[in-house]
Amino acid sequence: MTIDLGEIPEGVRVAVIGSLNADLIAYESAQPAGSDYNIGEAFELGIGGKGLNVAMSVAATGISPYLVGRLGNDIFGGLIRRALNKSRVNHDFVETDGSGATGVGHVRVNAEKDYDTCVVPGVNGSVDHTDIDRVLASGLTFTHLVLDFEIPLEAALYAVRAFRAMNAKVIVNFSPPTHGSRALLPYTDVLVVNEKEAFALWLDVVGADQPLPISLWTVIDRLRRTDEGYRDVVVTLGPRGVWGMSAHGELRQLTAHPIDTVNAVGAGDSFLAMLVSSLARGTSLLDSLYPAAAGGALACSRRESWLNINDGPRIFELMQNRSILMPARSRKV
């Protein structure tokens, strides 16, 4: 059983290059004990990292992705490796690096279910061209690449160039914001950002001295058609929904699903995984927003940072709510 998004075309192969972390999650109480002190209500040790979260959620849809990254030779690395062994994720390209520690995400979830994270990269910060070269040397051909910026920018740039050379569709989550990340835009087929990241990247494109535009549409359209080509653009807005613009300039805006939030850790990664899984099946960008929005919302309703194979019925239920604030309309190429 999997989350059924339709038939998987023959030859589909997805690579996920990104971070693998141990997540140390503290749930804060509503009443702080002092100005800089809080008595926590709960603590959890989990596994995450943007790369791992995306790969686990993609696997729940029936596509077995190839995860590329590094773990330390330590207790957290062992914890993550055991979880991968039980999953449908191919982790042949996850290397154990004895030169450093496994990455750690220290997450604090407040009483309003918002969270902040202090990430200690560990060996995620050592990912380089040799990790990508091992994938290339395997002789495997990939149809899709998805990555984020919890690995060094140089490695990310090397990866998008290499996978573009094999005609893979490149999906980049420009998160967390990284100086110089614009260099990946010419190689990006699908750009995924939140609202804050969208405006930061827009300022990088037009110049930091430019006044911010009133319309988010203006920002999305500029990101769609800058730096050597046209690309799909998706901007997530949290409780205000999501905007998507195809490379051809068609725009769609969806409302957010009403859901009881436990925490939003991994919500963006689940959104991204469902988007990738839908695109890999040949679904258009605008129609792929529906399963993506459902996946992101569902991830907020539980403590785990990814989706699992039992989520199919709830995903299907959420996808039936096809609320559109703005029907598809076009700002033509």
- Asked whether residue 114 is assigned to any structural domain, the reply reads no
Burial of 62-90, coded b for 16+ CB within 10 Å and e otherwise, reads: bbbbbbbbbbbebebbebbbebbeebbbb
Average pLDDT, the chain: 92
- Most distant CA pair in the chain: distance in Å? 58
User: Residue 249's CB: how many other CB atoms inside 10 A?
Assistant: 16
Rounded-to-integer distance, Cα 158 and Cα 313, Å: 39
Q: What is the pLDDT of residue 301?
A: 82
Nearest-angstrom CA–CA distance, 304 and 323 = 27
- Quickly state the pLDDT bin for 315 (edges 50, 70, 90): very high
Residue 221 lies in a domain: yes
* 259: pLDDT strictly greater than 90: no
- Has residue 329 got a pLDDT over 90? no
Would residue 155 count as lying in a domain?
yes
Provide the number of structural domains found in the chain: 1
pLDDT digits (tens, 9 = 90+) for 10-56: 999 999 999 999 999 888 877 765 667 777 888 889 899 999 999 99
Q: Is residue 69 part of a domain?
A: yes
**CATH code for the domain of 267:** 3.40.1190.20
pLDDT tens track for 85-119? 999 999 999 999 999 999 999 988 877 777 788 99
Q: Which residues constitute the domain of residue 320?
A: 14-20+48-99+123-330
**Residue 233 counted as domain residue:** yes
- Answering whether pTM is above 0.85, one says yes
Asked if 221 and 245 touch (Cβ cutoff 8 Å), the reply is yes
Residue 33 is classified by DSSP as S
Look at 30-34, 60-64, 158-162, 314-318 and tell me which has the smallest mean pLDDT. 30-34
Residue with tokens 């279910």: 113
d(CA 84, CA 133) in angstroms, rounded, equals: 22
pLDDT tens track for 140-152:
999 999 999 999 9
Q: 136 or 210: which carries more pLDDT confidence?
A: 136
pLDDT band for 3, please (50, 70, 90 cuts): very high
251 secondary structure, DSSP code = E
pLDDT at position 215:
87
pLDDT of residue 143: 98
pLDDT value at position 35? 63
In a 3-state reduction of DSSP, which class is residue 293?
Answer: helix
Does some domain include residue 107?
no
Pairing of strands 242-245, 40-48: unpaired
Per-residue pLDDT band for 305 (boundaries 50, 70, 90) equals confident
Evaluate whether 15 touches 97 at the Cβ level (below 8 Å).
Answer: no
How many CA atoms within 13 Å lie on the side-chain side of 240? 8
Nearest CA among 125, 128, 124 for reference residue 158? 128
In a domain, 59, yes or no: yes
pLDDT at 331: 57
* Pairing label, strands 242-245, 232-236: antiparallel
Domain annotation covers residue 164: yes
